[in-house]
Amino acid sequence: MSTELESIPFDHYQRYAATAALVDALATPAATVLEVGANRQRLLASFLPHSKLVFSDLFEQVGADDFVQADASALPFADARFDAVVALDVIEHMPVHLRAKAATEMARVAARLVVIACPLDQPWVHAAEHDANGVWRNYFGEDYPWLAEHKEFGLVAGDEIEQALVKSGCMVLRFGQGDTAIWSGLMSAHFVKEAITEMRPIVASADRLYNHSVFAGDRSKKSYREYFVAVRNKEDLERIRRSPVLTAQSDDAAVALLSSLGASLQPIADRIHSAESQWQLAAKKVAEGEAKLSAAATEWGRTVELLHESEAKQLHASQQWQATVERLHESETKQLFVSEQWRQTAEMFREAEAQLEALEKHHGAAIESMRVLEEKHQSLMAEHQELTYHQDRLLLRLSELELRQRWAVGSGVVVLLAALAAFFFRLI
């Protein structure tokens, strides 16, 4: 195989390189091959560059001239249409009641060779998938998708597939490939590198080591994947028995290394994952701190706005106090004016009294003059009463003005003290 192909993931290489070796054993130039349940990567074409391939799957693949949408249990092809028909890790993703029928259909359209590869319902397979899936769940919190489908549909009963192929007139050769210890170790390493990208170069090197030095001889009684190789003539069976995939030996040292790779990488990956989790937690706390700081800044801005509002209210209160003082001054001016009027009135009253005394002194001079003076006296007395009435009113008005003055001064002081108290409260 080319160096480029030896760089693909071990599980892909394992399936396609083994299948290519079995098809090549037919020694048929430009063999026609159908891959049932093919994915979009079409890797089999790279491993069989001289063969004529057709790919089929239950789901449509638009824009592919070599693709036919088909159900594996009802293939739309004539009998013996292809030299070889292969299905790699497909049967276990089908409902149980369709598996034997799908094997029969593949045998029907195959002229010489059927290759079916799948994990069997064996304890060691379940254990290997459980271990690998546990690594995936450790990092991603859910089952790996195709391992979840294995749980949903159940793994394959090997005897059922073999019997279906035998009933179709085929001779069946079975062999296991992919020791579960190696498969579990390498698959776990692949899951680790999906979580910790720094591990990718190590896992890529492990893939190349497996593909180059271990793959061909990776056969085991406790293998992850079982191959069902069905042929119609003994010559093809003998050719297949001599295929490198059934005769080659693997590098024991490489096997030991790869078997322990997943377990060796996990503690390192766990520490990295833990460090990343702690970093994410720290980053979250920093983000929360920034949010709190932003909220505090917003609150500070609001406090400044309230302070400005308080200063505006204080200025308004000061202006009201100034207006009150001005009104008080006006009141004092009016009071002074009233006091001056009272003084003038009192002076007039004193002058009238003086005139009255003078008239009384001349009372004896003449009766007529006294009568006149009497009348004037009475008139003056009336004016005096009127002045006294006005005086009383002026005194009452003066008392009211003094009361209002005290009230205005007291109110102004209260307003000023309230404004000052509000201002200091806002500052605190």
> What is the tens place of the pLDDT at every residue in 399-409?
887 788 788 77
The C-alpha angle 249, 255, 258, rounded to 5 degrees, equals 145
Under CATH, what is the fold of the domain 5-250? Answer: Rossmann fold (3.40.50)
- Find out whether 166 and 222 touch, Cβ atoms under 8 Å: no
Quickly state the pLDDT bin for 22 (edges 50, 70, 90).
very high
Residues present in the chain in total: 428
CA distances from 180 to 2, 55, 133, 289 (A): 26, 29, 14, 49
Sheet bearing 110-118, strands edge to edge: 67-69, 52-57, 32-36, 82-88, 110-118, 223-231, 171-179
Confidence at residue 112, expressed as pLDDT on a 0 to 100 scale:
96
Confidence at residue 266, expressed as pLDDT on a 0 to 100 scale:
55
Q: Is the pLDDT of residue 136 over 80?
A: yes
Q: Is the pLDDT of residue 271 over 60?
A: no
Phi then psi for residue 143, to 5 deg, are: -70, 150
Among the listed ranges 28-37, 212-221, 313-322, 358-367, which one has the minimum average pLDDT value? 358-367
Q: Is the pLDDT of residue 127 over 90?
A: yes
User: Helices (DSSP H) in 25-122: which residue ranges?
Assistant: 43-47, 96-109
DSSP state of 77: S
Confidence at residue 265, expressed as pLDDT on a 0 to 100 scale:
55
Q: For residue 372, what are the contacts with CB-CB under 8 A and spacing of at least 6?
A: none
Task: Write out pLDDT tens, residues 158-210.
Answer: 999 999 999 999 999 999 999 999 999 999 999 998 888 888 998 999 889 88
User: Helices (DSSP H) in 242-366: which residue ranges?
Assistant: 244-247, 252-361
Q: Classify each residue of 113-148 as buried b or exposed e, where b means 16 or more C-beta atoms within 10 Å of its C-beta.
A: bbbbbbbbebebbbebbebbbebbebbeeebbeebe
One-letter amino acid of 169:
G
**350-372 average pLDDT score:** 70
Please give the model's pTM, rounded to 2 decimal places. 0.63
Map out the domains of the chain as residue ranges: 5-250, 295-427
Q: How far apart are CA 126 and CA 355, in angstroms?
A: 142
Q: 114: helix, coil or strand?
A: strand
Quickly state the pLDDT bin for 388 (edges 50, 70, 90).
confident
